[in-house]
Structure 1
Amino acid sequence: MRVLEALQWIRPPLGWLKVNVDGAIYSSANRVSIGGVIRDCNVLFAELWAIHDMLLHSWCLGFRQIELETDNLESVRILKGVSIALSGHSIVASIKELLAFDWEVLVRHIYREQNKVVDWLASMTKSSPIGATHLVDPPEGIHPLLQYDLSLE
């Protein structure tokens, strides 16, 4: 006898993060595609992933002196070793490995009001498809914020 069960996504237990991944090979097109979803991700975890990806991208572009600014104070405290939140987590370990590369990275907290351009970009991507987007020119609508930052110099 065969038992039928509902096939659906199941929420992880409290305190756990569920990550779903999948890969596909299209042999006729000689392509591979991957996808992933992180659910029940808190703000701190998302911020740390953003920090990781921006550091990695900066390194790959050849920059060796970085001022990393974030409006998430807890992530700064973690990276400076003041907080033990998420200690032992792979994202924190990965960021610390990046920070140990042969470069100078200054990590500092700034207020959200000092981070309006990035805040705007993060909000803009809420409705975008999942994936990395590399912008060559500033998107429409962000120019006033960039002009404001320039006026403060």
Structure 2
Amino acid sequence: MFKSVKVRDYMHTEPVTFSPHMDLFKAIDLLVAHRISGAPVIDEQGYLVGVLSESDCLRGILSGSYFEEACGSVGAFMSEVVETIDADADILKAAAHFVERGRRRLPVMEYGRLVGQISRQDLLRALKSFNEHGAPKKG
């Protein structure tokens, strides 16, 4: 029943993104301001080159503290190996990925380009909404 619901139907189409050259503290400010745990990093041509997570930010702060210097750029601390999901994948595939891999968010790709981001919260909202409008409630 959920298999006909696509990731593209619930993804954020204008996610917060970072440049590899952005100052790490500016990126941290954006994560906090938008109340998100991470975001895609894209190059000047708009290609996905990494993901910056809260853990990456903490690593950067600790590294800077250890060497008593400014943290540096997003590119110095981002994760370059990025798990993604296709925009046309069903939301159950995304849910399984979140559960099996312990991820909080996934960049959404279409024809090799970043078109959005989907989070566990997005999926919970989708599944709750679907249950309220289509599936019988138990209890």
TM value normalised by structure 1:
0.22
Pick 1 or 2: higher relative contact order, CA cutoff 8 A, min separation 6: 2
